Amino acid sequence: MKKLKILLVAGWVPPDASGGVATYLRNLVDELSRQGHRVFYFYSGEYDWRIYPHLKVYHRQEIEYASLLNSPSLHFNSVKDLVTVHCTSTQIEKLYLGYLDRLKPEIVHFHNLEGLCVSLLKKTKEMGYPVFNTLHNYWLVCPRVEMVNSFGVTCTRGFAVKCGDCYRFNQRQSYLILKRIVFRYLPWLQPSTSLIIKTGIKPREPAGNKNIFEYRNDFIRRVLNQKVDINFAVSKDVKKHFVDFGVKPNLIKIGYIGTKVGDLLKEYGFKKKKNEYLTFGFLGSLAPHKGVTVLIKAFKKLDQSYCRLLIYAPLQGGYLADRELLERKYNIRFCGGYQYQELPKILAGIDVGVVPSLVAETGPQTVMEFLAAKIPVIGSNIGGIPDFVKNDTNGFLFKPGSVPALVGRMRKFIDDAGLVHHISQKIRPVKSIKVKVDELEKIYYKSLCN
């Protein structure tokens, strides 16, 4: 079959970013290229001293990357920018369309629009290209991305109803985000960061007009319904949220992502260790919504002479101060961050994986990584996790945020010494990245024939 020229639009997911979506996209790019396709990667989220938006094009091996530097679409945009930047931005459109016109790809597949604007979907379709859009997160329906309100509670109030109150950012939140950008990309501006905040961002953004959020939502609904060939939802829960939002069900196809971990395990010659303790493992981030606090509280209630907890995540926040106390008093080890290539070695030392998320994870990579190594998973019964974790088949689900419920699930493995082996034997192989690319190829070729 003819090899394709494919443009992947990744938004706020630079090629070296961390996180599940970034890992998936790196693997997707590698596999598409390995199968002979010409792959181009357009993204935002990087900054330099010039301040105004511009494009930087560079190459790594056979892949061309186009970075939209200094994008005006930020995580802390003001309420009025929800319309002027999130929906349409002449600056972003001009740079993107110029690149698209030069490139002339056969397929354009969007994976994230944070850091860009939704009108790129519309403009791409109007230029005659097949347009695909994978819904990896909730940014299109929730400017805060995770469908969680300002108090950290899952949103249940309906779209645009209370968005004005929820979206407000105080000076401290905006300062921390901007400081992170300045420290990484503009270190010489560190002394001026406070001045930038005071002059460029109001300390307390007014709630804004509800009509602004209604306009944003109406614009996005029209684009997703009229200008996208297929919207891929990475879980059933994602599809449900977007159907509730107003996207036509027939325009949303559930498309589970793939993982490369299975291939890594084969290359590594993966073999499980025989641990002295029943070892529970956590992979990812210590961000509050990942539920590590719930996991630690639950683990404290277990008999420490029978089990241990390994936490693989970059240390941050209060855990920096609490680490020594927790490790001294309990059988807990903070192992720090890790590289993707280290997963086989890490997974070899874990008996049971725990994914205690407090918010609706969309397509949880860590679940797939545990299952690829035939490790039973205890996961929150929320978001996309139940799509992969089935009670008594490959693990157990529990009520999100419930310490007693999590303790009960963990004790099952402590009380029954053969349960880990019993469940491991029933775990089926997860979708590989190669299988995912094969699925996408069929869809791409069909769209071109039509």
Distance CA 190, CA 124 (A): 38
- Length in residues, the chain: 450
The region of weakest confidence among 193-202, 213-222, 403-412, 440-449 is 193-202
Q: In this predicted model, what pLDDT tens digit does every residue of 234-272 receive, in sequence order?
A: 999 999 999 999 999 999 999 999 999 988 998 888 888
Which DSSP string corresponds to 344-360?
HHHHHT-SEEEE--SS-
Phi and psi torsions of 43, nearest 5°? -150, 170
Q: In this predicted model, what pLDDT tens digit does every residue of 98-107 receive, in sequence order?
A: 999 999 999 9
The region of weakest confidence among 57-71, 160-174, 179-193, 210-224 is 179-193
Average pLDDT over residues 292-298: 95
Q: Please determine, for residue 375, whether its predicted confidence score (pLDDT) is greater than 60.
A: yes
CB-based contact 121:223 (threshold 8 Å): yes
Q: Please determine, for residue 177, whether its predicted confidence score (pLDDT) is greater than 90.
A: no
Phi and psi torsions of 227, nearest 5°? -120, 10
Average pLDDT over residues 52-80: 86
Q: Which two tokens stand for residue 230?
A: 């297929």
SS3 content of the chain, % helix, strand, coil (to 5): 45, 20, 40
Q: Would you state the pLDDT for residue 197?
A: 40
**Band (192; pLDDT cuts 50, 70, 90):** very low
Can you list the domains of the chain with their CATH numbers?
5-168+205-258+433-449 (3.40.50.2000), 261-424 (3.40.50.2000)
Phi and psi torsions of 289, nearest 5°? -70, -10
**Band (212; pLDDT cuts 50, 70, 90):** confident
Average pLDDT over residues 283-291: 89
CB-based contact 373:281 (threshold 8 Å): no
Q: Would you state the pLDDT for residue 420?
A: 95
Q: Please determine, for residue 214, whether its predicted confidence score (pLDDT) is greater than 50.
A: yes
Q: Would you state the pLDDT for residue 169?
A: 47
Q: Would you state the pLDDT for residue 170?
A: 38
Average pLDDT over residues 359-380: 93
Q: Would you state the pLDDT for residue 276?
A: 85
**Band (158; pLDDT cuts 50, 70, 90):** low
Distance CA 58, CA 24 (A): 21
**How distant is the alpha carbon of residue 154 from its chain centre?**
17
Q: Would you state the pLDDT for residue 56?
A: 95
Q: Would you state the pLDDT for residue 147?
A: 80
Neighbours of 345 (CB within 10 A): 12
Average pLDDT over residues 192-215: 50
More confident residue, 160 or 269: 269
Q: Please tell me what DSSP assigns to residue 144.
A: T
* Pairing of β 352-355 and β 278-283: parallel
Q: Would you state the pLDDT for residue 268?
A: 84
More confident residue, 215 or 98: 98
Q: Would you state the pLDDT for residue 207?
A: 43
Distance CA 68, CA 98 (A): 12
328: exposed, middle or buried (Cβ count in 10 Å: 0-12, 13-18, 19+):
exposed
Q: Please determine, for residue 196, whether its predicted confidence score (pLDDT) is greater than 50.
A: no
In Å, how far are 149, 157, 305, 352, 414 from 276, measured between CA atoms? 42, 48, 10, 14, 13
Q: In this predicted model, what pLDDT tens digit does every residue of 124-144 receive, in sequence order?
A: 999 999 999 999 999 998 887
Rounded percentage of the chain residues whose pLDDT exceeds 90: 63
Across the chain, what does the average pLDDT equal? Answer: 86
Q: Please determine, for residue 37, whether its predicted confidence score (pLDDT) is greater than 60.
A: yes
Q: Would you state the pLDDT for residue 75?
A: 61
CB-based contact 329:397 (threshold 8 Å): no
